[in-house]
Structure 1
Amino acid sequence: MALYEHTFIARQDISTAQAEGLIEHFSAVLSDNGGSVSETEYWGLKTMAYKINKNRKGHYAYMRSDAPSAAVQEMERLMGLHEDVMRVLTVRVDKHEEGPSAVIQAKNARDERGPRRDRGDRPRRD
């Protein structure tokens, strides 16, 4: 079996619980077809660079899997048919990196830095 990383974007008007439910659903599709999902991450509702199907934002999700190609093709087929999924990207990798993805690492680093100075921490000049 091969190692894969999957990223998909779901519509902005679904709830966070529904977006996380999509992750579980597609993880189950891989598992049912002989694969296994080693890690999943919900990246949150993010603004996209351009509109997709009249949506300015989207729920981003990420999965790492070890699955046969037939299982990945079936999952991608079902994602293409699902009305809440707007985009899918699957990449075959040689090995999975340890720890959280780069998106989660950047988010954690931002949280540790504290509040931004340009957002009202300085007194206003009138």
Structure 2
Amino acid sequence: MNKYELTIVLNAKLEDEERAAAMEKINGYITRFGGTVTGVDEWGKKRLAYEIQKMKEGFYYFIKFDGASNTPNELEENVRIMEPVIRYLCVKQEA
């Protein structure tokens, strides 16, 4: 199992319930594709470095998880098409 970190930026206009549902869905994808969530770090609403889809702010989340080598690819395929996600990045952590 490899260690990964997924950074997610969600639309700032989402309600608390919608953000929680989106995060629950992402965590579900991780477990569905053989991963185990080890930690979720919520940074809250932050200003974006540049405007994305006419938005200047977004909610930042950092999810640490363990998974097989195919888990990030499967995860990105599903996160890419989620409506509330405006940016994402999955990286492998150094040992």
- Asked if these proteins are the same fold (TM beyond 0.5), I'd say yes
TM-score (norm 2): 0.90
Superposed, 1:1-126 pairs within 5 Å as 1-95=1-95
Shift of residue 91, structure 1, vs aligned partner = 1.2
Identity across the alignment (%)? 27
One-letter code of the match for 2:73? Answer: Q
> RMSD of aligned C-alpha atoms?
1.3
1:10-55 Cα distance to aligned partner (Å, 9 max, x none): 1111113322322221111111111101001221111112100111
Count of aligned pairs between the two proteins:
95
Q: Which sections of structure 2, spanning at least 5 residues, go unmatched?
A: none
SS of 1:81 mapped into structure 2 = coil
The structure in which a higher percent of residues are strand is 2
- Equivalent position amino acid for 2:76 in 1: E
> CA offset at residue 68 of structure 1?
1.3
TM-superposed deviation, 1:94: 2.5
Which structure shows the bigger proportion of residues in helix conformation? 1
Long gaps (5+) in structure 1? 96-126
Instruction: State the AA in 2 paired with 1:78.
Output: N
Q: Is the 8 A contact 2:33 2:75 kept in 1?
A: no
Superposition TM-score, scaled by structure 1 size = 0.70
